[in-house]
Structure 1
Amino acid sequence: MDIRYEAQYHLLEEQHWWFQARRDFVFALVQELGLAPTAPLLEIGCSGGPLLLRLRESGFSNITGIDISPRAIELAHRRGLPNSFAMDATKLDFADESFDIIIASDVLEHIEDEAQALREWHRVLRPGGRLIVFVPAFSMLWSQHDVVNHHFRRYTRETLLTALRQGAFSISRSSYWNGVLFAPALLVRGMQRLLQPNAPAAEAADANGDLTALPKSINKALLSLLRFENKLLGKLNFPVGMSVFAIAHKSVSQRS
């Protein structure tokens, strides 16, 4: 991730509509699993820890976070999350079968060796444990935002599920997320490619990608829109979206 983008990310991650709405949905998915408050939970790519803080406030007492960025972990420590560590998601410094649940939101696309990451996540997950994973969707939405974030790929539902199954996970549920903004985003991406067809990716990349502070009224409106969509996703799956997510599990019969 570009350092300038990361600084902007940490400034906005608690209040920005996208991150708030996604945290809401991930939190709801965790609640649906009916885990005990003492269940060991790992968030990969925890950033400054806003989701971990919410989970702790809801009663989870055995939470751990990792992030590749020492700056993110320093911020998490300042926010009162001492059990967070700077760590490579492909080389986890945890024993086999350490966690009942792993959360990884917008992490896998940053990792060149996707298979190695999933092997590690599978290794530290207990039999019967769950993995909640979010990734950006559709290569047709590739933009300067992906360049600034140092993404290696975008996913479809099928490519995400294939990667998870090749990593020995079984799938409990999968869907797209943020379907309401898919069509506008596709139009914008198309216009950008039309107006700058030969622009080198590095030159075209704004340091902030798509991450900007919006007026409070617009931020609130977009957050309300996605929160409404989150409620719908509690009852159905979407055929398209800006992101794709899956809930996968490690078979009870599997051992690391």
Structure 2
Amino acid sequence: MEKVIYLKMVQMERNHWWYKGRREFISKLIRPYLRPNLHILDAGCGAGGTMEYMARYGSVVGIDISEEMVEYCRKEGLSAYHGSVTKLPFANGLFDLVLCLDVLEHLPMDQIAVEELKRVIRPGGLLVISVPSFSWLWGRHDELNQHCRRYNFGELIKLVQLAGLSVERSTYFNFFLLPPIWLARKLGRLLPMGPGQTYLNFGTVRLNTLLYSILKLEAELLGKFNLPIGVSQVVLARKK
């Protein structure tokens, strides 16, 4: 990932509509499965926004491939390690819950990463994975973020099942904003975009609040049914 993108992530992770909305969505997804005082791993923790949010459910440890992100997390008082999700520096069965949010798409060997994530989960523990969906949504944003792929129907579920995990729930995320995001991606192929530019820009405060409200609504709908399509896919799986 370009360094300028990392700098934007530090600025955005705690207040940007997409990051805030994703945290609400993941929280709603896992809540029925939680017990008190969980030991949680955020694999690909970035600037630590999700770690801070998940602390309400137990103790949280993070790991990231970026030394800059790990250093930033530590300065914020978070427990973060430098390393790769394909070779985690943790004992077998250490965590009750592992989050791997928008990480696998960066890895050439995503299956190895899922196997390694499974290794550090206790029997009966949970893994939550989110990835960008649908190759037809591919755009300059993916290239700037050095994505290897977007995941089409069934691909993420197959990946999880090949690792021997049981899928508890699979849903999409960012359903209502799919049409405008699709249009932005298509237009983005025609328009020049300089270093560090990304579709994660805040826009105005009002727009940021509006878009967050839309994703928060999606999180509430998740309590009733799975979303059939969206910009991202989320899978909740259990280690047998």
- Give the TM-score category using the shorter length: over 0.9
Q: 1: distance between equivalents of 2:4 and 2:179?
A: 29
TM-score of the two chains, using structure 2 as the length reference? 0.95
Q: 2: distance between equivalents of 1:59 and 1:240?
A: 29
Task: Confirm or deny that 1:238 pairs with 2:220.
Answer: no
Give the structure 2 partner of residue 220 of structure 1.
Answer: 209
Letter in 2 for 1:16: H
Identify which of 69, 75, 78 aligns with 2:75. Answer: 78
- Assess if the C-alpha contact under 8 Å between 1:103 and 1:132 holds in 2: yes
1:184 CA displacement: 1.6
- Assess if the C-alpha contact under 8 Å between 2:74 and 2:80 holds in 1: yes
Give 3-state SS (helix, strand or coil) of 1:92's partner: coil
- Assess if the C-alpha contact under 8 Å between 1:144 and 1:206 holds in 2: no
1:156 CA displacement: 2.4
Give the structure 2 partner of residue 22 of structure 1.
Answer: 22
- Assess if the C-alpha contact under 8 Å between 2:43 and 2:64 holds in 1: yes
> Where do residues 198-213 of structure 1 align in structure 2 (5 Å cutoff)?
206-213=195-202
1:24 CA displacement: 1.3
- Assess if the C-alpha contact under 8 Å between 2:174 and 2:231 holds in 1: yes
Q: Deviations over 1:200-232 (max 9, x none)?
A: xxx866522212121101100111111111111
Q: 1: distance between equivalents of 2:73 and 2:180?
A: 34
Identity of aligned residues (%): 35
Runs of 4+ in structure 1 off by over 4 angstroms are 203-206
Unaligned runs of 5+ in 2: none
Q: Compute the RMSD of aligned alpha carbons.
A: 1.6
- Assess if the C-alpha contact under 8 Å between 1:146 and 1:209 holds in 2: no
Distance 1:222 1:142, change over 3 A: same
Letter in 2 for 1:141: L
TM-score of the two chains, using structure 1 as the length reference? 0.89
> Where do residues 52-201 of structure 1 align in structure 2 (5 Å cutoff)?
52-56=51-55, 58=56, 60=58, 62-81=59-78, 83-193=79-189, 195=190
Give 3-state SS (helix, strand or coil) of 1:85's partner: strand
Question: Which of the two has higher C-alpha Rg?
Answer: 1
Distance 1:107 1:211, change over 3 A: same
Unaligned runs of 5+ in 1: 197-202, 252-256
1:54 CA displacement: 2.0
Letter in 2 for 1:75: Y
Q: Deviations over 1:69-114 (max 9, x none)?
A: 1111111111111x21111110001111111110011011111111
Give 3-state SS (helix, strand or coil) of 1:40's partner: strand
Matched length: 240
